[in-house]
Chain A
Amino acid sequence: MYATNYHRASSVQDAVKMRSAADEGKYLSGGMTLIATMKQRLASPSDLVDLRHIPDLNGVSVNGKSVRIGAATTHYDVASSAELKAVCPAICALAHGIGDPHVRHMGTIGGSVANNDPAADYPAALLGLDAVIVTNVREIKAGAFFTGLFETALEDGEMIVAITFDAPARAAYAKFRNPASRYAMTGVFVARRDNGDVRVAVTGAGGDGVFRHSGMEAALAANWSADALSGVSVDPSGLLSDIHAGAEYRANLVKVMAKRAVAAA
């Protein structure tokens, strides 16, 4: 790791100021990817501004079906929130399946979402839940937020403050783990609303990152059952292909994980 300056922000305004004052500052919110990248000398920010200790950014609040998760809330805190579990157990289960206990106690939802790793779990949940990413300057719908591999709609210096969404009637996440990294080689989040709207969001498989599968959404809107997916085909073109899984295999996993998610929802 190259030498860097560490700052601990106490408020959002504080954080923005610290970062803009730095040569090449970066927000740090758990650092589960950033620190590893810096250790490999693949990133060399002059300054790190730690967001995890900003009180406003921490915690889960639930008001009826309306959920707000502070950006610096750890995966552990999301996984173990009783309030959240009561209205949207799927996202708690998803958070419980991220990494290992060390990662779940350090990594945060905001950090994960801002990084938009194509194999991360949260992007599937946010897209599947039609969530809103609240930043220090605006609100962005998940559908417009994730723009490509490790790419988001965040402007330079813009900071995620919270994630909000309305809990769906039913939802579940099914993940097939990469045998080496245990990241999602394919993960599918399904959600169904009381009005019959269905979302199927896929992570780990898309060549451009997280995506919705309209064919499966239509099939499930017509008939909310795993069997409804049997006739839907998943096109392997545009899916990721690497030493662990080719596009054909990932296409199969998308369908199998979607079925399992529906069955579990």
Chain B
Amino acid sequence: MGVEGIGASVARKEDKRFLTGKGRYTDDMSVPGMKYAFFVRSPYAHAKIKSIDMSAAKDMPGVIGILEGKQLQADAIGNIICGWMIHSRDGSPMKMGAWRPLAHETVRYVGDAVAIVVADSLGEARDAAEAVVVEYDVLPAVTEAVKALEAGQPQLHPEAPNNLIFDWQLGDGDAADKAIAEAAHVTEMTIRNNRLAPNPMEPRATLGIYDSAEDHYTCYTTSQNPHVARLVMSAFYNVAPENKLRVIAPDVGGGFGSKIYIYPEEIVCLWASKKTGVPVKWTCDRTEAFLTDAHGRDHVSTVKMAFDKDNRITGLKVDTIANLGAYMSLFSSAVPTYLYATLLSGQYAIPAIHANVRTVYTNTVPVDAYRGAGRPEATYLLERTIETAARELGVSPAELRRKNFIRTFPYQTPVIMTYDAGDYEASLEAAMAASDWNGFAARKAEAARRGMKRGIGMSCYIEACGIAPSAAVGSLGAGVGLWESAEVRVNAVGTIEVMTGSHSHGQGHETTFAQLIADRFGIPIDNVNIVHGDTDKVQMGMGTYGSRSGAVGMSAVVKALDKVEAKAKKIAAHLMEADESDIVIENGELKVAGTDKVLPWFQVALAAYTAHNLPPGMEPGLKEGAFYDPSNFTFPAGCYICEVEIDPETGTTEIVQFVAADDFGNIINPMIVEGQVHGGIAQGIGQALLENVHYDPQNGQLITASYMDYAMPRADDLPSFKLSHQNTPCPSNPLGIKGCGEAGAIGSPPALINAITDAIGNNNLTMPATPQKVWSAINAVN
């Protein structure tokens, strides 16, 4: 592998600038004449706008312009759309209500944007925003999805009676019903998946620059996928044609899904730059982020899992209500459907599965993909249910899982997915050994002597990453293809630039992508530059989410490298008068195998550009591009074991052990993979123990709008993690890699809740398992 090749824990190239404060984020960008925006937002969860009076605000110091939704509509700027069509079981298309970038008729959540104020300074913009008088006719609000479906509740969109967006199903309902009717045992549960705020360290920001001389727009923005932003803003929002719109996502400080979507602020700042004639910058503050960044999860499900007399799972039936908030965000429809129900087989051979999913409008901020996106919901539901079943059946949770594992591959589930490779038992064994599973009883007894309740829980997750074969997702309703592109540009001196459509916002692509080149050509990664995040530099790309940059983005790089290597070998063979098939590339040199003939890499690159002596008919230059469209999803899987001690007097949970055994296929940089797993587990523990978005159900006000009330995990909430990796290489991509970005957040919540419920002897517990809830659950059974 070499010291910088595939499999080496190379230190991250990008960390020097991040750790020394030299990162360049959107808010760091300044251009001459730039002014500042502040948005006037709805203080109500649901209201009709009767009037907007800007007269006083317009004359305030420093104000350059104040713009509202009517003007936006007059300029034919489009409504914000959801890009994935889902049809209800009756064949009708999903009911998409109008989401205007600036509301001028109705506001539907606290924080809905109503007007933009542009001024010389942020303080002046904010002062003037306070002087904009919006007269509202306040309407009743509903924040909970289950309630929103009931009769007599406030109605959000005329297109969606009873607030129902779609009523979708997957699988064979009759077969699942039959399995349940004939079962020796059925485990039934109601499962709630709590609502989360994404909280990237860098809040969203955008800088819109209109150049009247060229009639051209530039948008700096905090995006995980600048090309998708450009495409959507051109094709659907009518901001500008693609050739007149450059989108740049420079350093981006975390996204976790929330920066996939194109938000009102990006559209409005670009438009406002043209209207006001000045570049317009907006940066979100933290409470604004809680109010307006797309949230994650928020499901309520009922589940029935059927077993035969030998404890084999014979059927699964799931009914889920998913809260999508006030409007349909870009991929909101896909998350609780094709990213969720398709994973309901888990690691188990289940002959009959049926899922029914209803999605619902409520007076809350839109809900969309958040680290894991659908797969944490599926895993939490399945792994809580099978653990409960083991307790009901009086068998070991490990044995019940082991008995039902899928063991032959490829395996076709009843819910679309074809698992290509895996060894679930290997991860289970590794996790059990690392956690000293068999020694738990003694540890529990010792804890009891100290007055503590000790519990252990496991979770065997599977996820689908590397989204995804374009034709497959197209047939399921996606509005885009999900391939990736790369271009490898070898300079005349042999250094290399790689343009990738993947986007790094913390994942370390500048290191791992460079490792591919070091591995292939034996040149130092310092001689390789990874270019991403700019639609003027990279031709096209689909961005980074769903753990796709390795499996899809790197595979595109590999395809381009194949072409570069082939051409370089042709040139070398010509120069050294050898046969092309005898050329090998090692340690930055091209050699004729079995001889002492050798050319340094840079000399071949130089030859390609001087073009003095190339094979007949060969074009000069050494630059190749490739598009890679995957043939399947990838299926990372693993087993997590969590051990906790509960203080029964206060209900406090301490995680005393956390073991993760993951199969990510082949690994490029083990250190970066470990970091991804650490972060994912931290977020999963956050969901399970701490985090919860709380809207006041009466008036729709967001109670958890700051860190005073929204509990983010901190270092001292977390234990040291024991990690291990098993490896069944992924057969569907050239690198054999599966993806690791989301696994930690997917696998950890059920392991933790299974451990806590084991400790306290009460299975009736919802996330987050706060001290108060755990204390109450202990008292409920004592």
A binding-site residues for B, Cβ under 8 Å? 1-3, 40-41, 176, 179-181, 183, 243-246, 249, 252-253, 256
Contact = CB atoms under 8 A, between A and B. Distances in A.
Interface stretch (B377-385, B574-582, B768-776): B768-776
A249 B775 contact: yes
Given A180-B690, A181-B707, A252-B649, 13 more contacts: A1-B123, A41-B126, A176-B650, A179-B711, A180-B707, A180-B708, A180-B710, A181-B708, A243-B709, A245-B772, A249-B651, A249-B772, A252-B650
9 interchain residue pairs of minimum CB distance: A180-B711, A179-B711, A181-B708, A249-B772, A256-B649, A245-B772, A243-B694, A180-B709, A179-B690
A179 B650 contact: no
B650 A253 contact: yes
A83 to B, nearest CB: 30
B704 interface: yes
Contacts of B712: 180
Contact of A3 (B123, B287, B708, B770): B123
Most chain B CB neighbours (cut-off 10 Å) among A41, A181, A249: A249
Contacts of B126: 41
A184 to B, nearest CB: 13
Interface magnitude class on chain B? 20 to 34
Interface of B: 123, 126-127, 130, 287, 649-651, 689-690, 694, 703-704, 707-712, 770-772, 775-776
Nearest to B711: A180
B709 A252 contact: no
Contact of A244 (B130, B770, B776): B770
A179 B775 CA distance: 14
A141 B651 CA distance: 36
B771 A179 contact: yes
Nearest to B713: A179
Contact of A243 (B649, B690, B704): B704
Contacts of A252: 649-650, 775
A3 to B, nearest CB: 7
Contact of A246 (B650, B689, B703, B772): B772
Contacts of A245: 772
A183 B708 CA distance: 9
B188 to A, nearest CB: 29
B426 to A, nearest CB: 36
Most buried by A among B690, B707, B771, B775: B771
A190 B102 CA distance: 56
B707 A243 contact: no
A172 B710 CA distance: 30
Contacts of B772: 244-246, 249
A3 B712 CA distance: 31
B321 to A, nearest CB: 22
Nearest to B130: A41
Contact of A256 (B650, B689, B776): B650
B708 A179 contact: no
Nearest to A260: B649
Contacts of B127: 2
A250 B650 CA distance: 10
Contacts of B771: 176, 179, 249
19 contacts: A2-B127, A3-B123, A41-B130, A179-B690, A179-B770, A180-B707, A180-B709, A180-B710, A180-B711, A243-B694, A243-B703, A244-B770, A249-B771, A249-B775, A249-B776, A252-B649, A252-B650, A253-B650, A256-B649
A256 B778 CA distance: 15
A181 B775 contact: no
Contacts of A249: 651, 771-772, 775-776
A3 B771 CA distance: 41
B239 to A, nearest CB: 32
A143 B708 CA distance: 28
A254 to B, nearest CB: 11
A256 B648 CA distance: 11
- Select the residue from A183, A246, A252 with max chain B CB neighbours within 10 A: A252
B123 A181 contact: no
Contacts of B707: 180-181
Contacts of A1: 123
A117 to B, nearest CB: 11
A181 B706 CA distance: 9
Contacts of B123: 1-3
Contacts of B708: 180-181, 183
Contacts of A180: 690, 704, 707-712
A181 B123 CA distance: 27
Contacts of A176: 650, 771
Nearest to A253: B650
A246 B776 CA distance: 11
A3 B650 CA distance: 44
Which one of A2, A176, A179, A252 has the greatest number of beta carbons of chain B within 10 Å?
A179
Contacts of B651: 249
A180 B130 CA distance: 30
